[in-house]
Amino acid sequence: MNQNIPASPTPATATIAQPVRQPLDPRALAAALAGIRTDSQREPETYLRDTVVPHGGE
């Protein structure tokens, strides 16, 4: 099996892709925030209870 490794991922001459930012859609943002507001007030205690991680981790 050939295990030769391709070159390093980011040579000095490589260009870095710039952020891909869709144009801000104020209506979509307002709708999303309104949706979040409604959803966050729907049985929040239940959501908090159902997302507990017993004893946590590292």
Partner 1 sequence: MANKSDVFQRLIGLETEYALLTPHVAGMLRPNRHEIYCDLVTALRAKIPCARARNMKEGVFHAAGGAVWFETERPALGGGLIEGSTPECRSPRQLLTWQRAQDELLTEAADAAFGGSVRLIKNDRDAAGNVYGAQENYEATMVAGWRLAVWRAALILLLPLALFTWLVLWLIDVGVTCYALAATVVYLTAERLLPRPEWLARLLFGCSVKELAAETPTGPAWLESILSVAARVLTAPLALALFAVLWLTAFVRIRRELTPFLLSRSIISGSGMIDEQGHFLLADKATAMNCLTGFGGLLGDRPIYCLGHFFKAVYADAWLAPQQYLRLFGARQRLQISLGDSNLADVAEYLRVGTTLLVLDAIEAGEMPTVPRVRRPIRSLRAICRDWHLATRIPLAGGRVASALEIQRFYLEACRRFVGRRSDAPAEARDVLRRWELALDALADDPQSLVGSLDWVTKQFVLDKSARGASWEAQKKIDIRYHELSPQGYFQRLRSTGVVCELLERGDIDHARRNPPAGTPAAVRGRYIREFSDDDEAVSANWQAVFLGHGRETKVVRLDRFRLGSAEREAPGRKKSVRRDGDTDD
Q: Under rule CB under 8 A, which residues in 28-57 are in contact with partner 1?
A: 28-29, 32-37, 39-41, 44-57
| DSSP single-letter state for residue 41 | T
What minimum distance in Å lies between the beta carbon of 49 and partner 1?
7
Spatial CB neighbours of 39, under 8 Å, sequence gap ≥ 6: none
Cα 18-36-40 angle, rounded to 5 deg = 135
What minimum distance in Å lies between the beta carbon of 31 and partner 1?
8
Q: Where along the sequence are the contacts to partner 1 (CB under 8 A)?
A: 1-17, 19-25, 28-29, 32-37, 39-41, 44-58
